[in-house]
Amino acid sequence: MGKIFLTLQQIGKAIMLPVAVLPAAALLLRLGAPDVFDIAFITKAGGAIFDNLPLVFAAGIAVGIAKNEAGAAALAGVVGYLTMTAGIATFDAKLNMGVFAGIISGLTAGILYNRCSDIKLPEFLGFFGGSRFVPIATCFCSLVFAFIFGNIWGFFQNVIQAVSEWTVEAGMTGVFIFGVLNRALVPVGLHHILNSFLWFFCLEYTTESGIIATGDIPRFFAGDPTAGIFMAGFFPIMMFALPAVALAIYHTAYRENRKKIGGMLFSLAFTSFLTGITEPIEYIFMFLAPLLYAMHAILTGLSMAIAYKLGILHGFGFSAGFIDYVLNYGLATKPLLIIPMGLCFAAVYYTIFRYAILKFDLKTPGRLEIVAKNIAENSNADNKTEDEYAKTAAKILNLLGGTDNIKDLTNCVTRLRVEVADEKKVDGDSIKKLQKIKGVITNGKAVQVIIGTDVEVIAKEIKKLR
């Protein structure tokens, strides 16, 4: 199970790199739209990303998988994707693997880079050795994949279409299940894999220019009037409900500690509201009160179902925060209903969390002296100097077992993703006590350290020490 978790963790991490491109593409697409600034070349520039999303995934995932994020892997991913899709088309021009073809090509290129980038060939073939060998190997592997998928993808394409249609036809039940699973997988960082299916594989929409958009996000930005059912329900949760959790934690803190934690909680709440990044808040109560987190997952599913029932359709290029809400307002259906719906969810979340914290004496920030002290220190994180980041990075590295125990270290938006040689050398309890650390998840040799939006800075400092 540890190996499976580690593999899925690596895939989930790799997917985040191409996904990070989407906010920029969505921004260009909307700013140039007729209902905003009406500048055609800006819209076309943003649309080009969505039109070539499988190619973006092929290059981005290859870099995400490859050690040292090597550029040669990206080239190999592109070569693999072009080779495979061209080969598949000769079997049946109607076959469309979409983003999945990009994912397969990216994974192949990244794995081959890690295994073959140091290969040495006979002297007369020396020019083709090392990293130059990777695109060549990927090309030949892609020919094999083209033959395999060219013969079997028709069946899987029909299955995916059927599952997608069932999910949509299931209506409230389908979106409810997706909403629950989306939050339920956050603790282990595997929600990106689930998201990818519905956001990038589910159903197709052909634009007037003949471009095929696949998945809820591309279809939404391509103008599909039915897209957005797998995104709209997240806006009330991320913009209103989770900030209300932060308010409940503040109000239930001991009065003398409120000033110490106020800045930190405001920062977390504002981040969730503005950008839709929710993990820093969720990790405050995720392990402290698992039943509350389970309720949070169910309520997220309920929000998805209610949004569907009300006919609300909205979408995002990054996450369901205020920026995407405003930016994509012109493409949405009944977007104003999100505000009263969000306020209702905020009231429900505040009431539930305030009651649970007081009733069960949960030791949320501000309700335990040592916790309040640590949070107060964390609230000054924005003022950290580079030296302080370096010190934090050194402590994390040491508690992970030192340089020799780190086989691989990367990061996504809010967490370090680490593969260790010996999990027994990892002192997770001590890592949790460090400043800025929201939580630690270990599963065999796979370790995740949840930090927040400062994670990239700390990751760079750790890599310097290695």
User: 185-217: per-residue pLDDT in tens?
Assistant: 887 666 777 788 889 888 889 888 888 898 999
The percent of residues above 70 in pLDDT, for the chain, comes to: 93
Q: Which has the closest alpha carbon to 64: 3, 120, 105, 22?
A: 105
Which pLDDT band holds residue 111 (cuts at 50, 70, 90)?
A: very high
Task: Please state, in angstroms and rounded to a whole number, the distance separating the CA atoms of residues 391 and 387.
Answer: 6
Cα Rg, the chain, nearest whole Å? 23
**Confidence category of residue 322, pLDDT binned at 50, 70, 90:** very high
Return the DSSP state at 335: G
Residue 78 has pLDDT above 80, yes or no: yes
Give the mean model confidence (pLDDT) for residues 297-325: 95
- Look at residue 222 and tell me whether its pLDDT is greater than 60: yes
User: Across residues 50-74, what is the average pLDDT?
Assistant: 87
- Structure confidence at residue 6 as a pLDDT band (50, 70, 90): low
Overall average pLDDT of the 10-21 stretch: 78
User: Which stretch of 149-158, 327-336, 414-423 has the lowest confidence by average pLDDT?
Assistant: 414-423
What is the percentage of the chain residues whose pLDDT exceeds 90? 41
pLDDT of 245 over the 90 cut? yes
Give yes or no for residue 384 having a pLDDT over 70. Answer: no
Q: What is the DSSP letter of 201?
A: I
The pLDDT of residue 302: 97
Instruction: Please count the CA atoms within 13 angstroms of the CA of 23 that sit on its side-chain side.
Output: 12
* Domain 384-465 class, CATH top level: alpha beta
Per DSSP, the residues of 40-83 read: HHHHHHHHHHHHTHHHHHHHHHHHHHSGGG-HHHHHHHHHHHHH
pLDDT of residue 381: 45
Which of 1-15, 47-61, 145-159, 389-403 shows the lowest mean pLDDT across its residues?
1-15
Instruction: Identify the band that residue 377 occupies on the pLDDT scale cut at 50, 70 and 90.
Output: very low
Please give the sequence-ordered ranges of beta strands (E in DSSP) within 353-445, or none if there are none: 406-411, 415-420, 439-443
Instruction: Please compute the mean of the pLDDT values over residues 360-382 and round it to a whole number.
Output: 60
Q: Range(s) for CATH 3.30.1360.60 in the chain? A: 384-465
Under the banding of pLDDT at 50, 70 and 90, the label for residue 412 is confident
Quick check: 371 pLDDT over 50? no
Using CA of residue 325, residue 269, residue 215, residue 77, what is the dihedral sign? positive
Residue 368, pLDDT score: 67
Q: What CA–CA distance (Å, rounded) separates 261 from 371?
A: 10
Give ∠ CA 317-281-435 in degrees, rounded to 5: 115
Catalytic site residue 141? no
pLDDT for 22-52, tens place per residue?
Answer: 888 888 888 888 877 888 889 889 888 888 8
What integer best gives the mean pLDDT of the chain? 86
Give residue 28's pLDDT: 87
Q: Which two tokens stand for residue 21?
A: 């491109």
Instruction: Give the pLDDT score at 65.
Output: 87
Catalytic residue among 139, 141, 202, 412: 412
The mean pLDDT of 406-418, rounded to a whole number, is 82
